[in-house]
Amino acid sequence: MPVRRIVPALLAPVIILPALLTPGCGRKAAPQPPIVRVAERTRDLVVSQVGTEAVLTWSYPSMTRSGGPLPDLESVEVWRLSLPPSREPHGASLRLREVRVQLLLAKGRRVARLHGADLQRATRGPKLVYRDDLATWYRKNHDRMPLIIWYAVRSICCHGHASELSNIVRLRPQAPPSPPSGVTAKARAAGITLSWTPSGANAVIVERSRNGKAWHTLTPKPIVKPPWQDASAAQGVTWIYRLRSLKTVGGVRIVGEPSTPVTIPYPDIYPPQPPVQLICLPETGLVRLRWSAVAGAAEYRVFRKRKGGRWHHLDFHVKTHEYTDRRPPQGTLIYAVRAVDAAGNESKPVACTTIAGQGP
């Protein structure tokens, strides 16, 4: 009888099916926490004192910490801390910055939370502006003067997540400088000239308004001494000006209260500047004129004459900065161009000379 050979099951070949190697099987990785969106930290906070207000200015938050856009800004917090100069930590190390941040959050307080309509009112183009009433602050702290004020801001977005605290700015409130006196304004063809008597050695900031309510600063860079000319004033308007004195203490601008406003009508009786860079370009059977644009000019008037002859008007209503004389006479020709503003005031003429050949 033949002898059977029995192969133990443990010795049988093991076949690994491909399905057992597909992703998702076997040991699973630990679940990852969701990515939390947080606004980028503000780094350009600046403080100045204007009258009895601390004025904070910084860029409108627009990016997340990862560099992406920030369309869902919810609010911005403004923090303040008052402390004696003797307790103020000094230095520029990263550790000292952390100490300042912890001190401000622990001992300071949130003085404003800008959101909704408040955030819209604080928006000035790409910037945010917040004003802190120092007169109220002084009444609460006058018995502990002198004091230093720290300010910082942080952005809240993405369902209540707060950014890191901004750079901390420092203000030591000062008595604002007195306004300049004897402010006068005189209308001239090139603009309105302002003169004044400075308050001490302080520079000035010039502000302008059309109605006495909305004031605009004309001189981001202070004016050191009078006079100063407002070349941007439009004619045909009554303008109102006021000046503020400015000094700098510890790198912080201290701006005083405004001077008494001065009102001046600026009638539209002054001619624009004459055109410049007028050139005559003779071609076969024609002459082309070209010149540079004049600020405030509504149109141009073109004239022509022979050498030693009388002027002839070629066109009274040229809207562009060039003109083509398609029927020039032969010989030496002189062309002139005047700029004309909307009120009909004409500039002085500017001329060029050329020689025209025989037309075709």
In the chain, what are the domains?
Answer: 46-171 (2.60.40.10), 181-266 (2.60.40.10), 279-356 (2.60.40.10)
Note the pLDDT of residue 93.
82
Of 132-136, 164-168, 328-332, the poorest mean pLDDT is in: 132-136
Is residue 76 within 8 A of residue 114, CB to CB? The reply is: yes
Bridging pattern class, strands 46-50 and 252-258: parallel
pLDDT at 1 over 70: no
> What gap in Å lies between CA 33 and CA 292, rounded to an integer?
64
Lowest-confidence region among 9-23, 82-96, 108-122, 215-229: 9-23
Question: CA-to-CA distance for 188 and 220, rounded, in angstroms?
Answer: 23
Q: Which of 143-152, 156-165, 195-204, 254-263 has the lowest mean pLDDT?
A: 143-152
For residue 116, how many other CB atoms are within 10 A of its CB?
Answer: 9
Closest-CA residue to 40 (of 165, 199, 144, 124): 165
Q: What is the pLDDT of residue 340?
A: 96
Given this model, what pLDDT does residue 144 score? 58
pLDDT given for residue 295 in this prediction? 87
Grouping H, G, I as helix, E, B as strand and the rest as coil, residue 245 is strand
Is the predicted pLDDT of residue 6 greater than 80, yes or no?
A: no
At residue 35 the predicted structure's pLDDT band, cuts being 50, 70 and 90, is low
Q: In this model, does residue 136 exceed pLDDT 90?
A: no
Preceding peptide of 222 cis, ω within 30°: no
Q: What is the mean pLDDT of residues 120-129?
A: 96
30 confidence band (pLDDT: 50, 70, 90): low
Average pLDDT, the chain: 88
pLDDT of residue 212: 87
Q: Is 99 left (phi over 0), alpha (psi -120 to 50) or beta?
A: alpha
pLDDT of residue 360: 43
- What is the phi/psi pair of residue 256, to 5°? -85, 180
Q: Are strands 191-197 and 228-230 parallel, antiparallel or unpaired?
A: antiparallel
Amino acid at 155: S
The answer to whether 301 and 346 have CB atoms below 8 angstroms apart is yes
DSSP secondary-structure letter at 222? Answer: P
